Structure formats: structure tokens, C-alpha cells
Amino acid sequence: MSDTHVSVERREGVQILRLTRPEKKNALTDAMYNALADAMVAAEADDAIGAHLFASFQGVFTAGNDIADFLAQATGGGPQGLRGVMRFLEAQAQAEKPMVAAVDGLAIGIGTTLMFQCDMAFASPEAYFKAPFIDLGLVPENASSLLAPRIMGHARAFELLCLGEGFSAERALQAGFVNAVVPSAELDAHAFGVAARLAAKPREAMKLSRALLRGAPDERLAVMRREGALFAERLQSEEARAAFMAFMSRKAG
């Protein structure tokens, strides 16, 4: 486990990324996004790697963006320039190698929208997907406003992204962003096996086929940047500040 709370493991042609900050439910800081982005860019450039796998740690995928980081940005103390989160989102949108997810437990915010960037996903019965952007005064990110309606239709995407309703593993399976529900104890091995099979296939044929199925990244990048501009604006809003403060002080009363 590294200082950055991101574990990077490579075997049999698969790079496995895992968030390792269990004391904060694997909530993502900017440093963690940067570590993920660095690892993804390195794996894309490395001929030894043929697939990415996003896995869970200690029964949690992620509780989403660190709300203390959101609050710091809302009050002007956040990191400046090209932030780690945008580097990570763009690394996903531009990836040419297949991406697989193995979700055990909570997958909140970007933990849910990451599924729409992945090519295949597996969930344990304990998986719980939730995208509470509006409750936080924010807007959906990670090109989810484009990809979610495409995958599950407008009504279900609206329920998930705008009503902010949580989806169980079974519901995610019905909605079409999870391939199978696998018992927690078998989840990692199952998802790894699929990722390794993808990585072992002829690389160029895989890359071309994936691009045919997904389309060029331009559209996703354009939507992602439009969402990102609104998201940055919303971070400064009174609605967002109030929601972040409410979360940060919820245990005080």
C-alpha cells in the first residue's frame, strides 16, 4: 500500500488499481486521482499491459470524491491548475485498452460514473451504486450525462443521476452497467479472469474493436469538459457549500 492510498498491481497483462483508504471509505483525494491517472497513462504506454481492472478494498469500492477536498475548493483552498480528477477522467476517456471493474460495497459518485467508462463490470451482492450529485448542489461528471442515458435509457439514468436513488447490484445488472453479480469472495478472481482473457487477445484487433464499439473519445471528452466547467462553477455555489458543511459537521450534533 502506498502513501497515495492507491495500490497498483500488475500481473498476467492486467493492471489492477485499488483505492486503499478504508478509514475514509476509499474517498478520493486529488493526490489519489493523480496516482490513478499516472498509473493509467503508464499502463496505456506499456506493451506488457493489455487491460485495466478497477477493484475494491476491504469491502468498499469508493465513497466518491473526498468532501473535505470539495469544501477546500469551494472555499478557495483546493489545488490549482489541471487537477488530478480531470487528469484521471481524461485518462479513462482516452484509454484504448479494455477497462473492467469489480465492485464490492459502496460505489458512490465517481464510483458509479466510472462504471459507464468501463467495458465490463462485476458486482458483489453487497454493491451499492449511488450518484448524489444534485443533493450536493453539483452536476453529474465523467461524461455520465452522455453515457448513462445511452446505457440504461433516460428514465433510469434520471432516477440514478437526478433523483439520486441508490441502485443495488441486481438493479445495476438490469440497468445494463454490470455484467454479472458474483459472490464477494469470488469477485476479484472472477473479474481478474475476465480482464486477463481480454488482455491475452490480439492487442491491435482488441483496440480497433473497442474503438468501434465505443466511438472516438472526442464526444466523451467534450461532454466531460462541459460537465467539468459547470461542476467547477457549482462547487462555488451556496447550495454546494451548505451540503459539504452539513456532511462535515453531521457527527458534531
Query: Would you say 136 or 182 has its CB closer to ligand COA?
Result: 136
Which one among 13, 50, 64, 84 touches ligand COA, defined by CB under 6 A?
A: 64
Size, binding site for ligand COA by CB under 6 A: 16
Single out the residue of 121, 124, 176 nearest to residue 147, CA to CA: 176
Cα radius of gyration rounded to whole Å, the chain: 17
Binding pattern for the stretch 167-206 against ligand COA, x by CB under 6 A and - elsewhere: ----------------------------------------
Give the chain as a 3 state SS string.
Answer: CCCCCEEEEEECCEEEEEECCHHHCCCECHHHHHHHHHHHHHHHCCCCCCEEEEECECCECECCECHHHHHHHHCCCCCCCCCHHHHHHHHHHHCCCCEEEEECCEEECHHHHHHHHCCEEEECCCCEEECCCHHHCCCCCCCHHHHHHHHHCHHHHHHHHHHCCCEEHHHHHHHCCCCEECCHHHHHHHHHHHHHHHHHCCHHHHHHHHHHHHCCHHHHHHHHHHHHHHHHHHHCCHHHHHHHHHHHCCCCC
Contact between residue 63 and residue 106 where contact means Cβ atoms under 8 Å apart: yes
Q: How far apart are CA 101 and CA 81, in angstroms?
A: 29
Candidate ranges 21-29, 87-95, 191-199, 209-217; the one touching ligand COA (CB under 6 A):
21-29
Stretch that binds ligand COA, among 101-109, 142-150, 154-162, 172-180 (CB under 6 A): 101-109
CA atoms of 84 and 109, how far apart (whole Å)? 16
Least distance to ligand COA from the beta carbon of 98, Å?
26
**65 counts as binding ligand COA under rule CB under 6 A:** yes
Q: Which is nearer to ligand COA, 51 or 131 (CB)?
A: 131
Least separation in angstroms between CB 216 and ligand COA? 27
Q: How far is the CB of 60 from ligand COA (least distance, A)?
A: 8
| Cβ closest to ligand COA, residue 21 vs residue 97 | 21
- Per rule CB under 6 A, is residue 162 in the interface with ligand COA? no
- 24 makes contact with ligand COA (CB under 6 A): yes
Give the interface segment with ligand COA, choosing from 64-72, 159-167, 193-201, 215-223 (CB under 6 A): 64-72
Q: Which of residues 25-54 bind ligand COA (CB under 6 A)?
A: 25, 27
In the bound complex, which residue of the shown chain has the CB atom lying closest to ligand COA? 109
Among 80, 213, 251, 253, binds ligand COA (CB under 6 A): 251
Residues in the site for ligand COA, rule: CB under 6 A?
24-25, 27, 63-68, 106, 108-109, 132-133, 136, 251
